[in-house]
């Protein structure tokens, strides 16, 4: 069969189009990447005037803010890291695989909740409530881990049937009602304990005995709220690192007689260590940069205090509140941009470090011959 004839092709046009397109894409691509670079350039540029006529005195106005940022981030990390890492360890290594497929996305969705919403609940609901029920709050914070241990102990001495119905691999879910009950118990008990130990009013005792003021919105509230916001970031990355530990390593350890927990502690964690560490670093980066939660839940008082019951003011909050009012070119303007530069450098460095660490980890996993 003879083939039908082909039309004359429009060759030259195609090549021209290709050249133009490649040029445009290159220009666009490089342009975009340069625009991203421009952020750093701008920040540095606008900070330069400080070098000439800035002085230590004006920089001093930033130090309580820097302290506030660190304090808020520390509080958030103290609250978030144990929970997020514990959740990651459980999720990667103890939870049933089917459950993990459902729960992991849910926990990762926590990340999507806007900071405004968390800040609003923290500032308008949590803060007043905690102020009225400080003893309850502290009791709940202490009682939660203990009650988890209690659940474990009860489980071990329970009958085999109970253990079958409520296995450890599903504990992430059925512990929810247990914790809810325990929290209710603690809230009920707290007033009695407060009466017995603190003469009925913990806040008054703190004030009279230790001179500790209690501000409605303070570092404790910020810690809990921002901690909640940061948990999913840490959890997601740490869980990925732990779950990707080559299965043969864990099996090898268990074949030698180690319990699951020992295998986790002695094999998985050291192997995934860099990934876990980088997850925490990224969480810290987020905590340092979060603005709305701090604006709404910290009281915005620039204090140099170490007390968790006092307010604070962070760099990011100050920028958000003061920069619109600052006249461009003025001292405040440059100072605040310097604060933004500090935040930018800190998070950028932390994230780069974390990414480098994670890439090394990926290479290590490949060498160990790993996939699940």
Partner 1 sequence: MLALSSAHPTQTPVTRFTAETCCLSINQFHLAYAGKTALRDLTLDVPRHRVTAFIGPSGCGKSTLLRAINRLHDLNESVTHQGQIQLEGQDIHAPQMNVTELRRRVGMVFQTPNPFPMSIYENVAFGLRLQGRMPKRKRDDIIEWALTSAALWDEVKDRLHRSAWQLSGGQQQRLVIARTLAVQPDVLLLDEPASALDPISTLKIEELIRNLKSQLTLVLVTHNMQQAARVSDYTAFLQQGELVEYGPTDQVFTNPRLQRTENYITGRMT
Partner 2 sequence: MRWLPRPPRLTAMGSLLWPWLCAASVALSLLMLATLLTLLAARGLGHFWPATLEEVTLRSGETLIGQAVREAPLPNAAGTERLYFTGNRDIDGNSWRWVALDDIATVAVPNDLIRLERAPWGDFIGRLETVESDGQRFEGDAAWAFVAQAMALPESQRPVAQLWLTAADGHRVTQPLAGVMRFQAPNAMSWHQKVSAWSGRIWQFLSEGPRAANTGGGVWPAIFGTVMMVILMSVIVTPFGVLAAIYLNEIAHQNRLTRLVRIGVRNLAGVPSIVYGVFGLGVFVYGIGGSIDSWFFEDALPSPTFGTGGLLWASLTLALLTLPVVIVATEEGLARIPDAQREGAVALGATRLEMLTRVVLPMATPAMLTGVILAVARAAGEVAPLMLVGVAKLAPQMPVDDEFPYLHLERKFMHLGYHLFDTAFHGEDVQAAIPLVFATALLLVLIVLVLNLTAIFLRHYLRRQRGNEC
Stretch 313-352 residues interacting with partner 2 (CB under 8 A): 316, 319-321, 323-324, 328, 336-337, 340, 343-344, 347-348, 350-352
- The DSSP code sequence of 249-305 is HHHHHHHTT--HHHHIIIIIHHHHHHHHHHHHHHHHHHHHH--HHHHHHSBT-----
Cβ(199)–Cβ(46) below 8 Å: no
Among residues 214, 228, 277, 309, the one that binds partner 2 under rule CB under 8 A:
228
Q: What SS3 state is found at 354?
A: helix
Residue 177 engages partner 1 in binding (rule: CB under 8 A): no
In angstroms, give the least distance from the CB of 295 to partner 2. Answer: 8
Which of residues 215, 219, 238, 282 is near partner 2 by CB under 8 A?
Answer: 282
From residue 185 to residue 214, the character string flagging contacts with partner 2 as x (rule: CB under 8 A) and all else as - is ------------------------------
Tokens representing 64 are 């309580």
User: Do 214 and 131 meet the contact criterion of CB atoms below 8 Å apart?
Assistant: yes
Asked if 229 touches partner 2 (CB under 8 A), the answer is no
SS3 at position 4: coil
CA angle 304, 347, 289 (to 5 degrees): 50
- CB of residue 203 vs partner 2: minimum separation in angstroms? 14
Nearer to partner 1, 11 or 164 (CB): 11
Nearer to partner 2, 176 or 368 (CB): 176
Task: Please report which residue ranges of the chain form alpha helices under DSSP H.
Answer: 11-53, 56-60, 63-93, 97-109, 115-121, 127-132, 134-157, 160-165, 171-198, 202-205, 219-243, 247-255, 260-263, 269-289, 292-297, 315-322, 331-367
4 vs 328, beta carbon nearer partner 1: 4
The partner in contact with residue 109, picked from partner 2, partner 1, none with C-beta cut-offs of 5 to 8 angstroms by kind, is partner 2
Burial zone of 226 (CB within 10 Å; 0-12 exposed, 13-18 middle, 19+ buried): buried
Count of residues near partner 1 by CB under 8 A: 11
d(CA 128, CA 137) in angstroms, rounded, equals 12
If binding is defined by CB under 8 A, does position 119 make contact with partner 2?
A: yes
328 binds partner 1 (CB under 8 A): no
Count CB neighbours of 360 within 10 A.
13
11 near partner 1, judged by CB under 8 A: yes
Out of partner 1, partner 2, none, which partner does residue 8 contact, by CB within 5 to 8 A per kind?
Answer: partner 1
Residue 121 contact among partner 1, partner 2, none, beta carbon within 5 to 8 Å by kind: partner 2
Report if residue 312 touches partner 2, rule: CB under 8 A. no
The binder of partner 1 chosen from 7, 177, 257, 324 (CB under 8 A): 7
Q: Does 17 bind partner 1 (CB under 8 A)?
A: no
Distance CA 155, CA 140 (A): 22
Binding of residue 231 to partner 2 (CB under 8 A): yes
Closest to 122 measured CA to CA, from 234, 202, 229, 230: 229
Residues 41-80: x where in contact with partner 2 by CB under 8 A, - otherwise, as a string:
-xx--x----------------------------------
- Where do contacts with partner 1 occur on this chain (CB under 8 A)? 1, 3-4, 6-11, 14-15
């Amino acid at each position: 069969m003879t083939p039908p004839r082909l039309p004359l092709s429009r060759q030259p046009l195609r090549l021209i189009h290709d050249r133009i397109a490649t040029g445009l894409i290159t220009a666009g691509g490089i342009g975009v990447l340069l625009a991203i670079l421009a952020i750093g350039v701008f920040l540095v540029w606008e900070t330069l005037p400080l070098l000439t006529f800035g002085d230590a005195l004006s920089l001093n106005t930033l130090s309580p803010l820097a302290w506030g940022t660190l304090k808020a981030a520390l509080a958030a990390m103290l609250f978030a890291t144990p929970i997020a890492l514990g959740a990651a360890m459980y999720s990667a290594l103890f939870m049933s695989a089917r459950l993990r497929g459902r729960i992991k996305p849910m926990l990762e969705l926590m990340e999507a909740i806007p900071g405004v919403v968390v800040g609003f609940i923290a500032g308008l609901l949590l803060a007043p409530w905690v102020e009225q029920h400080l003893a309850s709050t502290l009791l709940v914070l202490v009682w939660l881990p203990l009650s988890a241990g209690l659940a474990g102990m009860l489980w071990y001495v329970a009958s085999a049937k109970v253990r079958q119905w409520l296995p450890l691999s599903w504990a992430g879910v059925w512990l929810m009602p247990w914790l809810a009950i325990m929290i209710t118990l603690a809230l009920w008990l707290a007033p009695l304990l407060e009466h017995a130990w603190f003469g009925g009013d913990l806040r008054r005792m703190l004030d009279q005995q230790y001179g500790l003021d209690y501000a409605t919105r303070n570092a404790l509230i910020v810690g809990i709220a921002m901690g909640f916001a940061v948990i999913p970031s840490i959890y997601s990355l740490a869980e990925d690192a732990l779950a990707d530990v080559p299965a043969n390593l864990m099996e090898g350890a268990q074949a030698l007689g180690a319990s699951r927990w020992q295998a986790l502690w002695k094999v998985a964690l050291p192997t995934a260590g860099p990934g876990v560490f980088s997850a925490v670093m990224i969480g810290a980066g987020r905590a340092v940069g979060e603005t709305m939660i701090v604006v709404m839940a910290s009281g915005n008082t620039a204090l140099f205090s170490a007390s968790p019951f006092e307010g604070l003011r962070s760099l990011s909050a100050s920028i958000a509140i003061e920069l619109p009012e600052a006249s461009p070119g003025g001292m405040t303007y440059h100072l605040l941009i310097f604060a933004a530069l500090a935040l930018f450098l800190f998070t950028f460095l932390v994230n780069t470090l974390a990414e480098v660490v994670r890439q090394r980890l990926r290479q290590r996993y490949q060498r160990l011959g790993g996939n699940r």
